[in-house]
Every structure is written in C-alpha cells, then in structure tokens.
Amino acid sequence: MLEQLDQNLKAGLAALEKLSDEEALLQWRAEYLGKRSTVMEAFTVMRDLGPEERPKVGKRANEVRQALEAALEERRESVRQAVLLQALETDRLDVTLPGRPQTLGRLHPVTQTLRRIYKIFAEMGFQVYRSREVESDDYNFTFLNMPPHHPARDMVDTFYTSQGGVILRTHTSAGQIHAMREYCPEPIRVILPGMCYRFEQISARYEMQFTQVEGLAVGRDITFSDLKGTLSDFARRLFRVEVRTRFRASHFPFTEPSAEMDIECFICGGEGCGVCKHTGWLEILGSGVVHPNVLRHGGYDPAEFTGFAFGMGPERLTMLLHQIGDIRNFWRNDLRFLEQF
C-alpha cells in the first residue's frame, strides 16, 4: 500500500508538469484527488488493516494528499500567470496610436451675442421677458397701430397658418403688448428676445428667420433722452470702444417719434469703407417713444405713462462684431463656419 501511494505521488506530479490549462487541471484533480483516486481509496482500505500498519498508511496517505494538493495549487498559479502573459502579449495596447478626438460643442455665435446683450441690459435693470413666436394678427399688427390693410404690413409679409388670424410673428414688438398687459399698472423694464419670421427675398442681408431683441421701458417721466442714453451706453458696452452713435429720424407705426440708431463704422473709423457702404455709419436698431395707442392697448393711460422701445437684430450685430459677410451662414449649420466662434 505504501509503495502504491509513493508511486501514485510520483505519477501525479509527473502528469501535472505537462498540464497547461484550467480544464486539464480539473481532470487531473478528479483523477488524483477525487473519490476514486488511489489516495482516497487508501483511506477506505486502511480501515481493514491491522493496528500495526493502519497509522503508517494513514500518515502516508495524508502526506501524499497534501503534497498533491500543494502541487496542484502551485501549478494552477503558474498556469494563470502564463495565460495572463499570453494575453498581454497578444492583446497588447499600442499606446502610440493617436486617440479618438472628442468633438466639443460650443454656443452658436448668435447665442453668444444674445448672452452679451442680456448681460448688458441686466446691468441696466432690464429683465428678460419671453414671448411666443406664433402670434395673433392683433398682437403682431393691429395693437401696434397697424390695422388690417395698413401699408406697413406689406413690408413685413409673413407666414400665415390655416387658422385665420394666427401667424408667425414678424417682429418681437408683438411681445410689448403681452408684457404691458401682464405688468400694468406697474412700470416695465424688459428685453424680449426670440425668433421672428418674414417672407423675404433671401440674400446675403436678409433671411426669412432671424432673431430680434426688443426692449421696452414704461413708466412715469420716461423721455426720448432716456432712450438715447440707454442705447448709446448699450452700444459702447457691446462694441467695447468709445463708439460714436447717431439717431436718424425714422418711422414705425408703433412709436412716435421714431429713430434708427447708427454706430460709427469701427472698421474704417468713419472714413468710409465697404462694410459701411462708404457712409461711415452702420445701422444697428430701430427705436422710438411708445405710441399712445400702443400704451392704451397695453392698459396704460398715456396721460400718465410714457415709454420707449427698440428692436435690434443679433445676427446683424454678430456680423458687425466678427465682420461676417453673409447672414445666411447663421442657419446653414455648416460646422466650418460655426467652429470659428
């Protein structure tokens, strides 16, 4: 029996040496340490031996089992190491390969300009007031002194819906009435940003959709000087230079008097160039003192309240800020353009 155990140990160790994967190790374990293995059988056979031999066989069987178990553990560890080394060899990472570039998004140039506009007006006490893009004819035209068949409507023809009197707003001025009706009789200082729509002959200067920022101040003792001061200061803050401004008499049905504001061309400094069409000035917005009828439609008594309003085009301002030649770039979604800002 003892001899059998020694042989079994030798054979086991020899067989183990040749194994190189987990599967084979499991089989080996069944063969040399399983129920039917020589070692385990030795424990059974042992019971029938005399008191002389029994402890010897028992001791030896235990030693052989421990030796086989220890050898298996050792082999298993080296098999694991070998598998790992193999994997490192074949699945090797080439750290010199260039990585995948991360595409970073950014704010649209018009959004960037809008945020600068919000900040400037916030510093002057103007809140942002959001107003709808789908409007009624009344808010967009009639309440702003443009009754049906008024010629000014033709200049800003727009998109009509199949529902009578429901249109896409042609300007943010429609929001003036919403703001007044909400705040009346409190004083107002708001800017109203958003998309507007017009049926345009699309060209480098005109798009059928564009952003506007409307401004509205209503209160007691508000004068045209307040309008001039606010807007001149705005221009200086936006263009970050001691830019000169001028107001030209103009006409809007919903303001009286009305004015367009120009800034001195900062490309040529007023000398005259291609950008300012050799006038030395660039038009940036329309404005005026709120017409009494408009105040009345908003719920205010024009004998007590006055106000001023203005409307500017952030695309236009962005074009001036970055010397962009074609307004159609803004909504074309061409990354080669957008990534420059």
Site residues (CB under 6 A) for ligand PHE?
171, 173, 214, 252, 255, 286-288, 309-311
Query: What is the nearest approach in angstroms of ligand PHE to the Cβ of residue 270?
Result: 25
In angstroms, what is the minimal distance from the CB of 284 to ligand PHE? Answer: 11
| SS3 per residue for 184-234 | CCCCEEEEEEEEEECCCCCCCCCCCEEEEEEEEEEECCCCHHHHHHHHHHH
Task: Map residue 129 onto helix, strand or coil.
Answer: coil
Cβ(235)–Cβ(284) under 8 Å? yes
Smallest distance from ligand PHE to CB 111, Å? 20
Closest CB to ligand PHE among residues 97, 155: 155
Alpha carbon of residue 131 to chain centroid: 22
Residue sitting closest to ligand PHE (CB): 311
Measured from the CB atom, the residue of 194 and 311 that comes closer to ligand PHE is: 311
Q: Which of 290, 284, 216, 285 is nearest to 253 (CA)?
A: 290
Residue 167 or 309 with smaller CB distance to ligand PHE: 309
Which residue number, 5 or 284, has a Cβ lying nearer to ligand PHE? 284
Closer CB to ligand PHE, residue 163 or residue 225?
Answer: 225
Relative to beta strand 127-128, strand 188-197 is: parallel
Find residue 246's DSSP bridge partners.
262
State in angstroms the smallest separation of the CB of 245 from ligand PHE.
16
Dihedral angle computed from the Cα positions of residues 42, 46, 50 and 51, in that order, rounded to the nearest 10 degrees: 110
At closest approach, how far in Å is the CB of 229 from ligand PHE? Answer: 16
Q: Taking the complex as a whole, how short is the minimal distance between the CB of residue 255 and ligand PHE, in angstroms?
A: 5
Measured from the CB atom, is 9 or 238 closer to ligand PHE? 238
Burial 165-196 (b: 16+ CB within 10 A, else e): eebbbbbbbbbbbbbbeebbeeebbbbbbbeb
Of 64 and 110, the one with the shorter C-beta distance to ligand PHE is: 110
CB of residue 201 to ligand PHE, shortest distance in Å? 17
Residue with tokens 């031996």: 49
- Output the six-digit token pair for 25: 């190790």
The letter for the amino acid at 281 is: W
